[in-house]
Amino acid sequence: MERVQFTAMIDGSPDDYRLLEEMEQQHVEGLPERILSALTSLENGIGGYQVTRLEHSLQTASRAEDDGADIEWVVAALIHDLGDDLAPLNHAQFAAAVIRPYVRAEVTWAVEHHGLFQRFYYAHHLGQDRNGRALYQDHPYYDACVNFCERWDQASFDPSYPTRPLNHFAPKVLEVFSRPPFDAGPVADLDSKPVC
């Protein structure tokens, strides 16, 4: 394989960096496949539920689809727990970072905050505050995140729900993660600024 000449970046030439840019572009093009592969590995994720983490993810996406949600919401629902293995203490932010370049700000925001909003359904059972989401009650995306959690995420632990398999969602994963990243269309300008 062709390689750069340098051993420290400061010594790199224009040819070196053109080569690396080309290889990085090829790597980016492989993202949809890597997303699907990472989702598959959720099959062996956190236990204790009646469904695996992969089944939970597929069911969350299936419910979004059944609600008539658009492709950005469906793919967000599919990947929202992708960080379970590598970022178990901030998995929502992990998934948000993955999808942020490809979808509008509202969708990224809901993925990023779903961990906090999900606490509404269980934190009180552990003697903790379930209303942490109230911090964002005036935020323009608050209702979208409540809806994401209420209708799709918190409900998707049911082994009897007609959940679609991963290959059903593969074309949508391919479409979203092949978009021009940070394009002005799908990514609203709010995404480039701190929003709460």
Binding site residues, Fe ion, CB under 5 A = 81, 153
Provide, rounded to whole angstroms, the least separation between the CB of residue 185 and Fe ion: 27
Determine contact, residues 123/154, Cβ cutoff 8 Å. Answer: no
Angle, CA 42 vertex, CA 39 and CA 46 arms, to 5°: 155
Residue number with CB closer to Fe ion (151 or 179): 151
Provide, rounded to whole angstroms, the least separation between the CB of residue 122 and Fe ion: 12
Residue number with CB closer to Fe ion (81 or 191): 81
Task: Put residue 68 in one of left, alpha, beta given phi > 0 → left and psi -120 to 50 → alpha.
Answer: left
Residue number with CB closer to Fe ion (10 or 54): 54
Would you give the DSSP letter of residue 134? G
For residue 114, the tally of other CB atoms under 10 A from its CB is: 27
Burial level of 139, CB count in 10 A (0-12/13-18/19+)? middle
Provide, rounded to whole angstroms, the least separation between the CB of residue 91 and Fe ion: 6
Provide, rounded to whole angstroms, the least separation between the CB of residue 60 and Fe ion: 6
Residue number with CB closer to Fe ion (2 or 148): 148
